[in-house]
């Protein structure tokens, strides 16, 4: 392709503070409509905003997690536009003096190399009300739900450093992982607590100019972010090849049709400094205190896992990507289990099982200690992997100990040679033609007979012993 894509992302993240940004209403936009409102977030005459300290702290923590510099002084502006979702004719946002500047995240490129993507700035702003469009008989009506009005957001504005859909998706994934680590935000694209707007333009490969960009909105999954950008790159390429000019406008991604189409843009007015919300002046002590709350970030943690536990790079990345999972992993390792075994079992069995049962490591009955006892039975050959998986599933919904489950379910591994020899002899006797095949050189039959033997033991046979006996008998 002779064109190169230039991509910048603007990401809105809903902070999970207990209250809204400027009043004491609960920050629960999903509650019944207009329940979480007060004179301040309804902007009734006479009410004055007061900035939530918790929201400010969570915003600052998020900025630090993305390697931004908190500005010594930041302030709110009034972003003026008229729309029914905005109860006072302007949105309070930090336009002139954002909370933080100059951050970055590292991502892995398509070719496996690390690329640093810069963040221009992060500012705080309030979310707007939600509009609900309905029909009352044959008349279309619009309803306003102010429960979301005034809930705290941060907007993360990247530099236009991304060059492909892959880089954009990796940027969102990395940023989401780092923000979740801080505990400041849930960051779900599906639930709208993380919203991505992409600015995309094309330029001849090798050029360093910036051409007219097109903004794309409404991607509700990371895959959609990649697909929408890829679609837009193709669309703009066709335009350029046909000699059509690119016009600055906003397009909406349609996840059903998988295309973007132009939308009518909201009129956006100027930003004037707000005289009622005091400027935010960051003191040294305050900043040190917030920095102290910053947990070990996934990149650092991954390096440590590599070093301390001897995990492979892939295992280390898997075990550090989510904070809860990484803490679970380390808690299990502290019980004295071999780290690679723990990582393997978590990735292959635990994580899929939790997903299937709609649980997370945070809310499941399967504590690190119980999981460690299960792994330790495997280590000691008390049970085999087959039984291990069975016990794991039961541990998700039962408060019994792993040992009790093993005993009750008779899942203990059979390592009694006599018992296993009898079993093998019976299988060999029942399948003379297969045994014949094997002896003629068909090695695959070995696996088939092993499967039969394991099944006959109800999955409890010690597979190592079983194989030894079978091999001996066949030869």
Partner 1 sequence: MVSEIYTHKNTSPKPCANNGLLAGRRVVIQPNMSACGWLSDAGSPALEGFVALEDATVVARMRDAGAELVGSSRMSELGFGLAGDTANRILSGGEADIALVTDTMGEARVAAAGSAVFGFKPSFGMVSRSGLVGLVPSMECYGILGKKMEDIIDTLSVIAGKDKDDPSMPDETFPDFAAARKPLKMPCTAGVLKECVDLLQDRERKAFRTGLARLEEAGLTIREVNFSEFDLFRVVHHIVASVEASSSAGKYDGVRYGHRSSSGKNWNEMYLNSRGESFGSGIKTFLFQGAYFQFESYPAFENACRNRRRLVRTSADLLGSVDLLVFPTRRLEHDAWRAATINHIYDAFLLTLPANVTGQPSLHVPSLALHAGTDIGVQLVGLRLDDPRLLSIGMKLSSTAQGGASHEV
Q: Could you give the C-alpha distances from 265 to 214, 215, 248, 346, 470, in angstroms and in order? A: 12, 10, 11, 46, 73
Beta bridge partners of 135: 140
| Selection from 153, 152, 158, 185 nearest residue 172 by Cα | 158
Q: Could you give the C-alpha distances from 201 to 162, 164, 234, 239, in angstroms and in order? A: 11, 11, 11, 12
Q: Which of 12, 28, 50, 460 binds partner 1 (CB under 8 A)?
A: 50
90: contact with partner 1 by CB under 8 A: yes
44: contact with partner 1 by CB under 8 A: yes
CB of 52 to partner 1, least distance (A): 11
51: contact with partner 1 by CB under 8 A: yes
78: contact with partner 1 by CB under 8 A: yes
CB of 306 to partner 1, least distance (A): 48
Nearer to partner 1, 264 or 380 (CB): 264
321: contact with partner 1 by CB under 8 A: no
CB of 197 to partner 1, least distance (A): 24
Site string for partner 1, 267-296 (x = CB under 8 A): --xx-xx-xxxx------------------
- Residue 249's Cβ-side half-sphere holds a number of Cα atoms within 13 Å equal to 13
Q: Which of 12, 28, 88, 130 binds partner 1 (CB under 8 A)?
A: 88
∠ at Cα 407 (402, 411), nearest 5°?
A: 85
Nearer to partner 1, 146 or 329 (CB): 146
- Size of residue set near partner 1 by CB under 8 A: 29
Question: For residues 196-224, b (16+ Cβ closer than 10 Å) or e, as one string?
Answer: bbbbbbbeeeeeeeeeebbbbbbbbebeb
Q: Which of 31, 69, 73, 84 binds partner 1 (CB under 8 A)?
A: 84
| Selection from 236, 219, 109, 239 nearest residue 162 by Cα | 109
Instruction: Return the range that interacts with partner 1 (CB under 8 A); candidates 59-67, 78-86, 288-296, 326-334.
Output: 78-86
Q: What is the rounded CA–CA span in Å between residue 25 and residue 22?
A: 9
Residue 27 three-state SS = coil
Site string for partner 1, 149-188 (x = CB under 8 A): ----------------------------------------
CB of 280 to partner 1, least distance (A): 11
The DSSP code sequence of 7-40 is: EEEEEEEEB--SB-SSSSSB--TTSSTT-S--TT
76: contact with partner 1 by CB under 8 A: no
Nearer to partner 1, 88 or 173 (CB): 88
Contact 124, 100 (CB under 8 A): no
Q: What is the rounded CA–CA span in Å between residue 84 and residue 297?
A: 40
CB of 44 to partner 1, least distance (A): 7
CB of 82 to partner 1, least distance (A): 6
The DSSP code sequence of 237-289 is: HHHHHTTPPP--EEEEEETTTTEEEE-PPPP---EEE-SSSPPEE--HHHHHH
Contact 174, 167 (CB under 8 A): no
Instruction: Return the range that interacts with partner 1 (CB under 8 A); candidates 44-52, 62-70, 309-317, 401-409.
Output: 44-52
Nearer to partner 1, 140 or 432 (CB): 140
Nearer to partner 1, 43 or 309 (CB): 43
Q: What is the rounded CA–CA span in Å between residue 396 and residue 404?
A: 14
206: contact with partner 1 by CB under 8 A: no
CB of 239 to partner 1, least distance (A): 31
Report the Cα 285 to chain-centroid distance in Å.
32
316: contact with partner 1 by CB under 8 A: no
47: contact with partner 1 by CB under 8 A: yes
∠ at Cα 103 (100, 104), nearest 5°?
A: 160
Instruction: Return the range that interacts with partner 1 (CB under 8 A); candidates 77-85, 315-323, 326-334, 368-376.
Output: 77-85
Contact 274, 75 (CB under 8 A): yes
Q: Which of 143, 144, 240, 353 binds partner 1 (CB under 8 A)?
A: 144
- Give the residues lining the site for partner 1 (CB under 8 A): 39, 42-51, 78, 80, 82, 84, 87-90, 142, 144, 269-270, 272-273, 275-278
């Amino acid at each position: 392709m002779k064109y190169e894509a230039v991509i910048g992302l603007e990401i809105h993240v809903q902070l999970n503070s207990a209250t809204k940004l400027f009043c004491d209403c609960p920050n629960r936009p999903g509650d019944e409509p207009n329940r979480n409102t007060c004179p301040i977030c309804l902007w009734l005459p006479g009410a004055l905003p007061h900035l939530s300290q918790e929201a400010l702290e969570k915003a600052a923590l998020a900025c630090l997690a993305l390697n931004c510099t908190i500005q010594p002084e930041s302030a709110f502006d009034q972003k003026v536009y008229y729309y029914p979702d905005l109860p006072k004719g302007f949105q309070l946002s930090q336009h002139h003096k954002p909370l933080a500047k100059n951050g970055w995240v590292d991502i892995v490129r398509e070719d496996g190399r690390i690329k640093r993507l810069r963040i221009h700035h992060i500012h705080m702003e309030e979310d707007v009300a939600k509009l609900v469009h309905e029909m009352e008989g044959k008349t279309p009506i619009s309803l306003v739900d102010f429960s979301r009005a005034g809930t705290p957001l941060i907007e993360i504005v990247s530099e236009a450093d991304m060059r492909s859909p892959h880089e954009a998706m990796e940027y969102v994934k990395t940023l989401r992982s780092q923000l979740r680590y801080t505990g400041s935000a849930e960051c779900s694209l599906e639930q709208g607590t993380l919203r991505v707007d992409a600015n995309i333009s094309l330029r001849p490969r090798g050029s360093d100019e910036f051409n007219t960009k097109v903004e794309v909105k409404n991607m509700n999954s990371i895959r959609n972010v990649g697909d929408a950008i890829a679609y837009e790159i193709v669309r703009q390429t066709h335009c350029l090849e046909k000699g059509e000019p690119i016009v600055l406008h906003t397009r909406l991604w349609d996840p059903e049709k998988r295309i973007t189409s132009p939308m009518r843009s909201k009129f956006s007015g100027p930003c004037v400094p707000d005289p009622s919300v005091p400027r935010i002046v960051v003191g040294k002590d305050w900043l040190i205190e917030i920095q102290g709350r910053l947990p070990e970030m996934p990149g650092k943690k991954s390096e440590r896992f590599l070093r301390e536990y001897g995990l492979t790079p892939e295992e280390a990345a898997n075990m550090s990507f989510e904070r809860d999972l990484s803490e679970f992993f380390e808690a299990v390792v502290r019980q004295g289990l071999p780290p690679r075994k723990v990582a393997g079992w978590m990735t292959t069995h635990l994580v899929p099982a939790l997903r299937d049962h709609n649980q997370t490591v945070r809310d499941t009955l399967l504590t690190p200690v119980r999981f460690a006892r299960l792994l330790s039975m495997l280590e000691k050959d008390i049970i085999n992997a087959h039984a291990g998986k069975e016990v794991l599933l039961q541990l998700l919904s039962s408060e019994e100990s792993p040992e009790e489950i093993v005993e009750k379910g008779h899942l203990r591994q059979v390592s009694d040679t006599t018992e296993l020899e009898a079993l093998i002899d019976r299988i060999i006797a029942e399948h003379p033609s297969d045994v014949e095949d094997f002896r003629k050189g068909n090695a695959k039959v070995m696996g088939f007979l092993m499967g039969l033997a394991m099944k006959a033991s109800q999955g409890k046979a010690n597979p190592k012993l079983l194989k030894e006996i079978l091999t001996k008998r066949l030869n």
